[in-house]
Amino acid sequence: QVQLVESGGGLVQAGGSLRLSCAASGSINSINRMGWYRQAPGKRRELVAMITTSGGSTDYANSVKGRFTISRDNAKNTVYLQMNSLKPEDTAVYYCDARVGYVFSQKDYWGQGTQVTVSS
């Protein structure tokens, strides 16, 4: 099993920055990629950014490219999301995700979520 603990959410003014952290524990060696998702009121949960745990390749939603950066510290079993130039539309609950296995046996583990609120 994998457990995820998120931190770093809060209230910030438009144009400001926040850094989210996600610490993984448990069967961490089974994780092949981690990511951040968000869900705003009345909207579906959407992928924000992801990173592979081995090669470090990344992917971002078009809405956050150039503003958000995902990174990881494998020694600390932690993934970060640096959010710059925040906009009110970035307001959402942000969830950390860890994926284990491939194709037929893959499974996702989720954190509890952390609220990010951007005021105009």
Dump pLDDT digits (tens) for 19-58: 999 999 999 989 999 999 999 999 999 999 999 988 889 9
Letter string b/e over residues 71-98, b meaning 16 or more CB atoms within 10 A of that residue's CB = ebeeeebbbbbebeebeeebbbbbbbbb
pLDDT of res. 104 = 84
pLDDT of 103 strictly over 90: no
What is the average pLDDT value for the chain, to the nearest integer? 95
Is the predicted pLDDT of residue 8 greater than 90, yes or no?
A: yes
**With pLDDT > 90 as the criterion, what percentage of the chain qualifies?**
87
pLDDT score, position 111: 97
Q: Are 96 and 78 in contact (CB under 8 A)?
A: no
Q: In what order do the strands lie in the sheet with 2-7?
A: 2-7, 18-26, 78-83, 68-73
